[in-house]
A and B are shown apart, each in its own frame.
Chain A
Amino acid sequence: MDTIIELFSYDFFVNAFLASLLAAISCGIVGTYIVSRRIVFISGGITHASFGGIGMGYYLGINPLIGAGVFSILSGMGIQLFSSKGKVREDSSIAIWWSLGMAIGIIFVYLTPGYAPNLMSYLFGSILTVSTGEIWLMLALAIIIISFFTLFYRTILYIAFDEDFAKTSDLPVVLFNYLLMILISLTIVLNIRVVGIILILSLLTIPQATANLFTRDFGRMMFYSVGFAFLASFIGLLVSYFADIPSGATIIFTQVVIFGLVKLVKAF
């Protein structure tokens, strides 16, 4: 216990702790929306498309996360636009954006002269190297998400549950679909540093699956998801630190173990 308390005297560990808390808030809330609305695959598309922006960032010498942000928002909009205009089937449209982003990323990383530093940390996450600047961004996102979901809780719930009915009630369905797509994109981008592009989908789905074992209420599911996401992130962080294994993968592994344990306990 003392060693854990001692860890908090290191800046990098405090940052990692705050990152896991803020990641749990944004992923717990946004992930509940994603899972309830069954748009996990869309989110996977956005996540992978953002790799294009990371490659571009390296090539242009700007922060790769800025590139990832632009790419993920564009792909989110693109998927929405393609499928709402009805010309491309949604799953095909997702696959196109998904692979296009990855392809662009690989080409630009290859074209960038020299070695691409930290590339692995974008792919697999590196919570122990999250910077203070990134913590501030994650905090801002968490505040935006909490306010948005608190203010418009019922609108979001009704649209997610039955979009057609919401349209007949004159709710601003299209506007909210786009706003939520932007929030999903931002959540993905700002959590890339925590668990990485390859693994982030798990932070948006596994805590929700665990929460779903306890409740079938949208609002409660958000709270429980944040709780489970934080629990797993913090345990994963500690285990990865002491065992000296990759943090992103450990966090995900912990998520699954918690889900499995809860499911097991619930079965008896």
Chain B
Amino acid sequence: MKKLIEIKNLSAGYENQVVLENVSLDIFSNDFIGVIGPNGGGKTTLIKTILGLIKPISGEVNLLINKTNVGYLPQVNQIDKRFPISVFDVVRSGKADTALFSSFHKNTQEKEKAESLLQEMGILALRNKSIGELSGGQMQRVFLCRALMNEPKLLVLDEPSTYVDNNFEGELYLKLKELNDRMAILLISHDVGTISFFVKTIACVNRSLHHHPSNIISEEQLASYNCPLQIITHGNIPHTVLKLHDEHEHHGHHH
């Protein structure tokens, strides 16, 4: 078990606005951490700081692995879906460290890698489509391929289950579980109920961060973490549901 990322007393945010305060977290090579928390609580800020896209206000984020060994799947709404680019090129962009001067190389290995990933995800037939022609689930598969191009040691996913059908969601989590054998995974989700079956530990991010050492988390614990989540139990299975906003009264499942 090797330590990959070391976050110490991190505060981060955007101009004039601190979103994360005094956060510490270590990520190890076999971790599968589900990051939960309310909207605006700082989940995306946390991973953008890990990826070096946001500079910390104070504290530090130490990468003990190469930056290119972190695979990243951004939120779909950050992608311009009408951009003229093919599926194959999107996947190849995952291995961008060879992009500079790539016009001089044949890049055979890179192309084969992209093909085998597309094959693995069952979307090789879509390779020449432009990304605008894909469904939500297909697009997430493409971005997962891109994130895996560099054989990452840590895979960071920001809400990969938005705009996808339930079928693919289940498939995706099984795939992640399989990938966890060879890489650490940091998964942001608002769907706490579903991910708690797959993740090993849960980190609740709401300005501060609480890393809960298991994938089962009780309502009392959430309350003590100041995390506005609610758990409803289905038989033996703990089922957690997020309260979207304070103005929403009760939000949850009725049985």
Contacts and interface: CB of A to CB of B under 8 A. Distances in A.
Most chain B CB neighbours (cut-off 10 Å) among A152, A162, A217, A218: A162
Contacts of B236: none
B67 A170 contact: yes
B146 to A, nearest CB: 8
B99 A171 contact: yes
B130 interface: yes
Interface string B58-86: 00000000011010101000111001111
Interface string A160-195: 111011111111100000000000000000000000
B15 interface: yes
B51 to A, nearest CB: 5
A161 B83 contact: yes
Interface string A137-161: 0000000000000111111011011
A216 interface: yes
Interface in B75-105: 78-80, 83-86, 89-90, 92-97, 99-103
B100 A171 contact: yes
Contacts of A263: none
Nearest to B146: A165
Interface string A74-112: 000000000000110000000000000000000000000
B68 A169 contact: yes
Contacts of A168: 51-53, 67-68, 70, 72
B152 to A, nearest CB: 10
B52 to A, nearest CB: 7
B157 to A, nearest CB: 13
Given A36-B83, A157-B93, A164 B70 contact: no
Interface string A190-215: 00000000000000000000001001
A153 B103 contact: yes
A16 B72 CA distance: 50
B4 to A, nearest CB: 15
A186 to B, nearest CB: 22
Contacts of A157: 85, 89, 93
A86 B14 CA distance: 10
A221 interface: yes
B2 to A, nearest CB: 21
B210 to A, nearest CB: 26
Given A151-B103, A216-B132, A167 B52 contact: yes
A171 B133 CA distance: 27
Nearest to A87: B15
Interface residues of B, number: 36
Contact of A170 (B79, B86, B97): B97
B99 A155 contact: yes
A241 B133 CA distance: 43
A88 B79 CA distance: 23
B99 A217 contact: no
Contacts of B72: 165, 168
A102 B60 CA distance: 46
A153 to B, nearest CB: 6
B83 A160 contact: yes
A167 B55 CA distance: 13
B99 A158 contact: yes
Contact of B96 (A86, A169, A217): A169
B41 to A, nearest CB: 20
Interface string B188-208: 000000000000000000000
Contact of B80 (A87, A152, A161, A217): A161
A151 B100 CA distance: 8
B101 A217 contact: no
Contact of A161 (B68, B90, B100, B101): B90
19 contacts: A32-B84, A38-B80, A87-B15, A150-B103, A152-B101, A153-B102, A153-B103, A157-B85, A158-B99, A160-B83, A161-B83, A164-B53, A164-B74, A164-B78, A167-B52, A170-B97, A171-B97, A215-B84, A216-B86
Interface of B: 14-15, 48, 51-53, 67-68, 70, 72, 74, 78-80, 83-86, 89-90, 92-97, 99-103, 130, 132-133, 146, 150
Given A165-B93, A168-B67, 18 more contacts: A36-B83, A86-B14, A87-B15, A152-B103, A153-B103, A154-B99, A154-B103, A157-B85, A161-B85, A161-B93, A164-B48, A164-B78, A165-B72, A168-B52, A169-B68, A169-B99, A170-B67, A212-B84
Interface of A: 32, 36, 38, 86-87, 150-155, 157-158, 160-162, 164-172, 212, 215-218, 221
